[in-house]
Structure formats: C-alpha cells, structure tokens
Amino acid sequence: MPRPRYVFGEAWSIARTSPRQTAAAITLIALALYVPGLLALVSHNLSRLAAEETEDPASVVLTLDPQTDARAIATRLQADHRIQLVRIVSSDAALARFRRAYPDLGAALSDLKEAPFPPSIEVVLKPGAARTVSREIAAGARVWPGIESAESEEEFSRRFRDAIHLVRDAGLFLGAVLTLAAVLSVASAVRLALDLHREEVGIMRLMGATESAIRAPFWLYATSEGLVGGGLALGLLYATYRFAAHWLSRDPHPVLAVLWVGFLALPTQLLLPAAGAAAGLIGSLLSLGRRETRRATRLA
Amino acid sequence: MIQLFGVSKRYGTFRDALADISFRVEPGEFVFLTGPSGAGKSTLLRLLFMEETPTAGQIIVNGRNIGVLPQGQIPYLRRTMGVVFQDFKLIARKTIFENIAFVQNVLGLARVEQKRRAYQVLKRVGLHHLMNAYPDELSGGEQQRVAIARAIVNEPTLLLADEPTGNLDPVLAEEIMRLFVEINIRGTTVVVATHDLEMIRRTGKRTLILERGRLHDPDRVRESAPLVREAPFLPLH
C-alpha cells in the first residue's frame, strides 16, 4: 500500500499543476449539488407542513368566506350522522397553529395587518366511515353559500403529497443529470491531470510502482474535488437559506415563508459533500481504467 | 539473468518488429544490442521491461517467465530492473533530488532512507552537489547521469538502456558509457541498445546484432568477437 504522505503529497501536486481544471470541476460539482439541494430544502419544509398533526385528523376542510357565519355551517354539518366532530378554525386560530408548526416564522408573520389564513371548518368523520364519505360531504358543501372551497382532506393530502413528490423527483432528476455532468467533468479533469503527469506516471511504473500507488493520488485528488464541491454547494445553500430568511423577515410572505422555514437536517447536509466525494471518485474511476492509464502513460 | 526463446513481436497483421529471437545473457554480463534504426532494439528492450508482451516465444528474466507473470506481479519484477532512455525522461518541475526520491517514495521507503540513497547514488555519478538544481539547469551529460542515478537508486540487478548516448557528444557519451561499465563491475547486468559501433568497439563487450527484427547468426557475432575484444577498454576514471 502506498504511504499516506506520498498519496496526499502527489494529490496536492496534481491539483497545483491543473488549477483551472480543478476549479472548473469543483464549480460544476457545487452547482450540480446546489440545485437538488435547493429542491430538497423546499420539499423538506413542505413535508413539515404535511406532517403537522392535529388532535383528530380532519377528513374534510371547508374554507369559508370571512363574512360567513361559521356556527351556522357547523350546525348544518353536525346534522349528518356520519360526522363525529366539527371544528371551527378561525383566522387567528389558523395563524396560531401555523406559528406552532413554524416557530421560526413567528417574527415574519407578526407584522401582518390582515390575517393571512381564512377561517375554516374541519370535519372529523366517525370511525369506520366509508372512504367515499369525505368526498360526498365535500361535494355537497361546495354548493352551500359562504363556502369558498370544500376539499376532501384525502384529496388534499394526496395533492399535497404529490406536490412534495414532484419537487423531490425534480430534485432527484436534476441532481442525477447535473451529477452526471459533474462526474464527466471530474473524469476529464483527471484525464488532463494524468496527461500532465504522464512521464511521471510512466517512470513510476517502470520503477516498480504498483497500480494502486499510481492511481491513489488521482483518486484522492478527484474525491477531494468532489468533497470541496459538495461543501461549497452546502455553503451556497446555507447562504441562500439565510438570505431568503432575512429577506422574508423584512417582507413577510405566508406562502414563500413556508418554503424557507428551516434548514436541512444534519444527515441531509452531510449528504451533499458525501455525494460530491462519490461523484469525484466515480469520475476518477471512469477515467483511470487500467488499460487507458497504461496507454496514456506509455513512455517508450 | 535473461533468456529469450523464439520471441516474436508483431504489430498489426503484417509487420514483424521481432522474429524468432533467442539468446541468453548471464548474470553480471554487459551486452550491447545494436543494429540500424528500426531493427527492433527498442522493441526488444520494451519486451524485457514488460511494457510490451511478445506475440510468440518465452522470455525469462531473473528466473521468471514474464509471459505468464500475473499483472499484479510485474511491478515487483520491475523493481529488480533499472531503465535509462535516450531523452533522459526527467521531470522538469522536480529538482534532481526529487527526481530520484519520488521513485523511492512509491516503494514506501522512509524519508531518511530516501535521502541517504539519493545522496549516495548522486555521489556515485558525481552530481551530489547539484541535488537542488532543476533538470533544465544541467547539461545533457549531467541529465543522463541523473537518469542513470535514478535507474540504479533501487539497486537493480538488471540495467536496460535504450540509446543512452544518442543525444550526447562523443566525450559525454564516453563518460556515460564509463558509468555503465562501473555499474556492471559492481555486479549489475547491463544491456545497452545503441547503434554507436565505435563505442561498442572501444568498450569491447559482447554484442547482439539485430537487423529487420532478426538476430544475426550468433556464429557471426562470435566470429567478430575477437576483433571487438581487441579494442582497448575504456579507462574507468
């Protein structure tokens, strides 16, 4: 096995001999991971909203016009024998609930002149009620006066989950495409570095250096590139988050604020540099095939 | 030390770089490999240091059949060899010391041992005072001496040189050849490919002649040997 000091020294030497390519590869990796990171951050915050549980999960939610008599609607609903509980959620109660879910946004919403959330009524069905009941109740309530919208929570949850999945999938897709580009960029940076060091590598091989001793510095170089690129992406993402949070605290927006309420959890944060390192390693493995390396570094 | 049995090397379908080569080099021997350009001298050396594989035949180096040697074993056999090229192949951005030390680095030698060996070997070729110079600051002869120092720093049992004096004037060429003789006297088997017949005549060592990929009749080589041996030995210092 090659000595760590030798591997680190040579990897550093490789980075120094092709600084432009190194910088380009790091930038590309950073961008490749920043975009899916951003979408992961958005979907993370949306998921928090989806995961927010109330005492009894509502099956139907009726959004009311502010002038509507909520009690009259609630009484009408209670007449339905399939309903167990009807809960009136005023604008203030909705805001209070939002603040409980997103304590970080408390300051952002405190300066609002108008209540950001309309009053609503949540309907809890009796246990064992058929799945179609919530949709029937929502469909019936939609035509009542004073009802802005009536959504079966099942439908709403599905749409909401779909939206989160869409964001997540878009992140994964973009991430995959951009990471592939980053991998190829690392591969070409490594290939160029190999070309710049071809004599050295050829001499090392003739002097009896093993393949792992020859390649280890290139592997380390590419993995470090990826690690730095991933770290840079994380830094950029955090800077974006801080900027958005700061901007929203000055100019609050109830919907946008939801997307920037919290930063990624630590394991997800660590995923970015790890993914970068993996992309770097894969790129170097692609460009340092046994046959290709031998051909590229043939001396005589 | 080296045995070749019916070795051929073919590039493409028609071009035989080497055809049915057989010879033997004893341990501690000094052998010249000569012939016109394109005769196959470099190809033969490349086969010996395993940069190429033969199309047919067997090559035994240090008692090992290199044709059946697993890839993973090649580096370990190469550590018993040193190789010198016509164009020196020194790394311009490394100092003379680093040019020699970096090949030991990969073998896992301690830093102190690397320094000791590099200094000793540079002293042997008379360049220890230029350890911190860069290759560009050295003359052609000095650069070739550094290349030789690098080739022998791991104390190889076999030293292969491909036209080592090809880029040098006659005085420097003689200096370099003297170094090879010295190295050989210390017990290292030396194989030098050259087309400098004058040098061969003056050194008076056994010579293998290649022409169009074929080895000249060994009897003819033997016949010419007394003439060659009559040539005066180069002074060692």
* Helix or strand run (H / E) with residue A84: strand A83-89
Residue A198 and residue A88 in one domain = no
| pLDDT value of position B225 | 44
> Is A17's CB within 8 Å of B72's CB?
no
Find tokens 């340092």 and name the residue: A288
Residue A205 and residue A293 in one domain = yes
> What secondary structure letter does DSSP report for B129?
G
Residue A193 and residue A221 in one domain = yes
Give the CATH number, domain containing residue A131. 3.30.70.3040
| pLDDT value of position A228 | 94
**A window 2-61, beta carbon within 8 A of B:** 2-3, 6, 9, 17
ipTM for this model: 0.74
Average pLDDT score over residue span B59-63: 89
Three-state secondary structure call for residue B95 = coil
C-alpha B192/C-alpha B190 separation (Å) is 6
Residue of A nearest to B83 (CA): A206
C-alpha A223/C-alpha A277 separation (Å) is 5
Q: Which residues contact B5 (CB under 8 A, 6 or more apart)?
A: B22, B57, B58, B59, B60
Phi, then psi, of A147 in degrees rounded to 5: -100, 120
**What's the token pair of residue A139?**
């469909």
Find tokens 């190194």 and name the residue: A22
Residue A67 and residue A202 in one domain = no
Longest C-alpha distance within chain B, in Å?
52
pLDDT cut 90: percent of chain B above it: 16
Residue where a domain terminates, one of A153, A172, A191: A153
Q: Is the pLDDT of residue B226 over 50?
A: no
A120, β-bridge pairs: A63, A89
Q: Which of B46, B51, B106 sits opposite A213 (nearest CB)?
A: B106
Q: Which residues contact A114 (CB under 8 A, 6 or more apart)?
A: none
Q: Is the pLDDT of residue A205 over 70?
A: yes
Q: Judging by beta carbons within 10 Å of its beta carbon (0-12, 13-18, 19+), is residue B71 exposed, middle or buried?
A: exposed
Average pLDDT score over residue span A174-194: 83
How wide is the angle at C-alpha A31 spanned by C-alphas A25 and A34, nearest 5°?
Answer: 140
* Helix or strand run (H / E) with residue B160: strand B158-162
* Helix or strand run (H / E) with residue B142: helix B140-152
Sign of the four-CA dihedral B46, B48, B49, B50: positive
Residue A19 and residue A147 in one domain = no
Question: Residue A65 half-sphere exposure, CB side, CA atoms within 13 Å?
Answer: 9
CA distance B171 to chain A (A): 26
Residue A182 and residue A275 in one domain = yes
> Is B108's CB within 8 Å of A2's CB?
yes
Residue of B nearest to A196 (CA): B91
Count of other CB atoms within 10 angstroms of residue A101? 15
Q: Is the pLDDT of residue B200 over 50?
A: yes
C-alpha B202/C-alpha B194 separation (Å) is 13
Count of other CB atoms within 10 angstroms of residue A56? 12
Whether residue A211 lies within 8 A of chain B, CB to CB, comes out as yes
Residue A45 and residue A169 in one domain = yes
**What's the token pair of residue B92?**
């311009």
**What's the token pair of residue A219?**
């592997």
C-alpha A121/C-alpha A59 separation (Å) is 11
| pLDDT value of position B59 | 92
CB pairs under 8 A between A and B: 69
Are β-strands A60-64 and A147-152 bridged in parallel, bridged antiparallel, or unpaired? antiparallel
Q: pLDDT tens-digit profile of B95-120?
A: 999 888 877 776 777 888 888 888 88
- Please give the tally of structural domains in chain A: 2
Q: Is the pLDDT of residue A253 over 80?
A: no
Average pLDDT score over residue span B167-180: 83
| pLDDT value of position B96 | 92
Whether residue A130 lies within 8 A of chain B, CB to CB, comes out as no
> What secondary structure letter does DSSP report for A251?
S
Question: Of B219 and B151, which is predicted with more confidence?
Answer: B151
Residue A173 and residue A226 in one domain = yes
> Is A206's CB within 8 Å of B150's CB?
no
Q: Which residues contact A190 (CB under 8 A, 6 or more apart)?
A: A218, A221, A222, A283, A284, A287, A288
B28: left (phi over 0), alpha (psi -120 to 50) or beta: left
> Is A300's CB within 8 Å of B51's CB?
yes
User: pLDDT band at A274, cuts 50/70/90?
Assistant: very high
Instruction: Show the DSSP H helices in chain A as ranges.
Output: 4-17, 19-51, 70-78, 91-101, 106-110, 131-141, 153-196, 198-206, 211-250, 254-259, 266-287, 290-296
Residue A125 and residue A171 in one domain = no
Residue type (1 letter), B178 = R
Q: Which of B49, B72, B76 sits opposite A206 (nearest CB)?
A: B49
Q: Which residues contact A79 (CB under 8 A, 6 or more apart)?
A: none
A128: left (phi over 0), alpha (psi -120 to 50) or beta: left
| pLDDT value of position A50 | 63
- Overall size of chain A counted in residues: 300
Q: Which of B89, B106, B150 sits opposite A2 (nearest CB)?
A: B106
Residue A148 and residue A164 in one domain = no
User: pLDDT band at A237, cuts 50/70/90?
Assistant: very high
Residue type (1 letter), A113 = K
Phi, then psi, of A110 in degrees rounded to 5: -70, -25
> Is B89's CB within 8 Å of A3's CB?
no
Question: Of A218 and B109, which is predicted with more confidence?
Answer: A218
Whether residue A296 lies within 8 A of chain B, CB to CB, comes out as no
Residue where a domain terminates, one of A129, A153, A177: A153
Residue A130 and residue A238 in one domain = no
CB of B208 within 8 A of CB of B40?
A: no
Residue of B nearest to A3 (CA): B108
Residue where a domain terminates, one of A136, A153, A170: A153
Count of other CB atoms within 10 angstroms of residue A263? 17
Q: Which residues contact B109 (CB under 8 A, 6 or more apart)?
A: B117
A253: left (phi over 0), alpha (psi -120 to 50) or beta: beta
Closest CA to B165 of B152, B154, B178, B156: B178
Whether residue A202 lies within 8 A of chain B, CB to CB, comes out as yes
C-alpha A270/C-alpha B51 separation (Å) is 44
C-alpha A43/C-alpha A52 separation (Å) is 14
Q: Which residues contact B18 (CB under 8 A, 6 or more apart)?
A: B7, B8, B9, B40, B43, B44, B47, B54, B210, B213, B214
C-alpha B231/C-alpha A262 separation (Å) is 89
Residue A240 and residue A256 in one domain = yes
Whether residue B9 lies within 8 A of chain A, CB to CB, comes out as no
| pLDDT value of position B233 | 41
Q: Which of A207, A215, A299 to mutate to test the interface with B (most CBs of B within 10 A)?
A: A207
Contacts of A300 in chain B (CB under 8 A): 42, 45-46, 51, 83, 85, 162
> Is A208's CB within 8 Å of B72's CB?
no
Q: Is the pLDDT of residue B234 over 60?
A: no
C-alpha A224/C-alpha A6 separation (Å) is 15
Whether residue A262 lies within 8 A of chain B, CB to CB, comes out as no
Per the structure, the complete domain to which residue A97 belongs is given by: 60-153
> What secondary structure letter does DSSP report for A240?
H
